[in-house]
Amino acid sequence: MIYLETPEAVKKAEEQARMLAEHVFRPISRKYDKNEHDYPTELDAFAEVRRKGGAGGGKKAPADASAIVNGGNMTGVSSIAQLCWGDVGLMMAMPGSGLGNAAIGAAGTPEQKVKYAGCYAAMAITEPGAGSDSKNISTTATLDGDQWVLNGEKIFVSDGERCSHIVVWATLDKSKGKAAIKSFIVEKGTPGCELVRVEDKLGLRASDTATIRFENCRIDRDCLLGDKPDIAATEEERKKAFGGVMQTFDNTRPMVAAMAIGVARGALDMCEELLSAEGINLDYKKNRMEVSAIEAELYELEADWEAARLLVMNAAWMADNSKPNSTEASMSKAKAGRMCNKVTLACVKLCNSLGYSEENLLEKFARDSKILDIFEGTQQIQQLIIARNVLGKSSADLK
């Protein structure tokens, strides 16, 4: 049975996040949109709020197998949505909020979770020749004694300039395909880890996005994230090996989907406020056929938003209760990303010149929304994952 009410513990976290979004993020949102590469120093005092969860929300099994748990993942997606109602770029710029933190929480050993608690970890996956298809990664990791040696280049690394650590995806042996792909934790400043450039972007301008090069970058053997680097021999073992790395996405995709939920909610609230000033107010008691075209479109947008929100909450709940959620994580990401693009652009349109002008944040919400349908796996990749899982096909069978 699905319960549509938000748990009380989650509500408290939402309230705290909303206060931060409303009183800190919104007032400085335009400032850092215009000054893209300036660090938002106003966030330093609130960084501890993001660090309280340690290295990131991982899957936690309940003591009683029949118990219902609303834990770190559900609290995380709810809080993220509220923060992104304020500004998604500023949320991503908060120290300790990197996607690498979620990777450590999802796949790290107990010792690694303790060691890297409080760090600010980015995640480096995308390469010039390997975008959404992670199995084509060519950055290499070679074991040399008690150290790994990394070589390769990563692009579009969110928080790559400001982070303290980077979770790097690399292959142990390109000929072994996806079975050889592992994640490594690299501390910024390690010799051979070079920040090449920081990108200029359409949206998320308060958050830095970097290109990072690894050239004979040596890290300790225990910097391998999670399990030991055995390369499985059988097809079943190869699936299991790569699945451990891909588990990261089962946690982070609902989080990115939650960002889309927050941005879309911010756009809807602002749009409805501006329209209300013109005498257009929603009345859910009315039949759809009794309202204006503008009201009817707003009802559709609200319904689309609610559907996406429930998918996100379901995927997070499954993660908290140690239920396989790969399909649901991709569903939430695909639906929320598409919904956010649709909602923000529609809000700009409905508010005419006020939506297009920098006088309000609607045009910024629309720009920010585009990346939420792209990173952590594009719309096309999510649909492919869902199709494979629903049809019981492998990546070799369905490309």
Catalytic: which of 127, 161, 272, 376? 376
- Which pair of tokens denotes residue 267? 């756009």
- Rounded Cα distance between 122 and 165, Å, is 6
Q: How many residues does the chain have?
A: 399
Are 89 and 31 within 8 A, CB to CB? no
Closest CA to 46 of 112, 109, 93, 85: 93
- Which pair of tokens denotes residue 42? 């106003």
Are 311 and 339 within 8 A, CB to CB? no
- Tell me the backbone φ, ψ of residue 181, rounded to 5 degrees: -85, 130
- Rounded Cα distance between 286 and 280, Å, is 13
- Rounded Cα distance between 393 and 399, Å, is 10
Q: Where are the alpha helices (DSSP H) in the chain?
A: 8-20, 26-34, 47-51, 72-86, 88-93, 99-107, 110-115, 235-276, 293-320, 326-350, 352-356, 362-372, 379-391
376 is catalytic: yes
Q: What is the DSSP letter of 227?
A: S
CA distances from 164 to 13, 33, 358 (A): 26, 23, 34
Catalytic residue ranges: 376
